[in-house]
Amino acid sequence: MGWLAYAHPIFGAVVVGFVFILGHFGLRGRGSSLRCREARQLHARLGPWVCAAALLAHAGGVLMVWSVRSDLTAASSVHFRSGTLLVCLLLLLFCSRPFMHLVLVRQLHPWVGALTMLIAAAHVFFGMQLIR
Ligand code: HEM
Ligand code: HEM
């Protein structure tokens, strides 16, 4: 069943890819042209799915360590901590949804988003170190 340990890194890579696609559409959505509005709509629609997928990847990672990686201790790695931070930031961005009409929230949201993308990149780095 050793191959099962690769299910999480593969799913995790897809999730991180979608975090970047989400951020890309968000940043492309700045402006008032029709294309910007379309990108913003796509971004707002994709957001909750990416949050849900990240939560699933987080739970899946712990489950994999617990079930098939007896060489690792669950919830003790830097990758676990960066994953927790990533999920929390995504949920924070999700929670900013009802407040997007406030100028301050609209200004802060992309900065928190950029930080989220940085953490996602670091998270991949820490995850690679756990691959057997
Ligand atoms: C390219 C992306 C990723 C790679 C290469 C990766 C790699 C790994 C590896 C090798 C493990 C050990 C379990 C196993 O072998 O299946 C692991 C555990 C874990 N991963 Fe990932 N992962 C990635 C993305 C993610 C994402 C997106 C999340 C959640 C947001 C996540 C959260 C976790 C958690 C919570 C654990 C358990 C760690 C622990 O209990 O100490 N990972 N990851
Ligand atoms: C991945 C990182 C993210 C980045 C870089 C990012 C960036 C942005 C940017 C630049 C905007 C446009 C702000 C403006 O009009 O000036 C925006 C809007 C928005 N974002 Fe994000 N965002 C991210 C993640 C998320 C997540 C996870 C959600 C959760 C649902 C979300 C929901 C929204 C919503 C609802 C809007 C307003 C859309 C509209 O007015 O039609 N974003 N984001």
Q: Where are the domains of the chain?
A: 2-128
Q: Which residues line ligand 1 (CB under 6 A)?
A: 5, 8-9, 12-13, 15-16, 54, 57-58, 61-62, 64-65, 69, 72, 74-77, 79-80, 83, 86-87, 123-124, 127-128, 130-131
Which residue lies with its CA nearest to atom 43 of ligand 2? 26
Give me ligand 1 centre to Cα 87, in Å.
12
pTM of the model: 0.95
Give the pLDDT of residue 1: 59
Query: Could you report the per-residue pLDDT of 37-82, keeping only the tens digit for each?
Result: 999 999 999 999 999 999 999 999 999 999 999 999 999 999 999 9
Ligand number nearest to the C-alpha of 55: 1
Which residue lies with its CA nearest to atom 38 of ligand 1? 80
Backbone angles phi, psi at 107, to 5 degrees: -80, -40
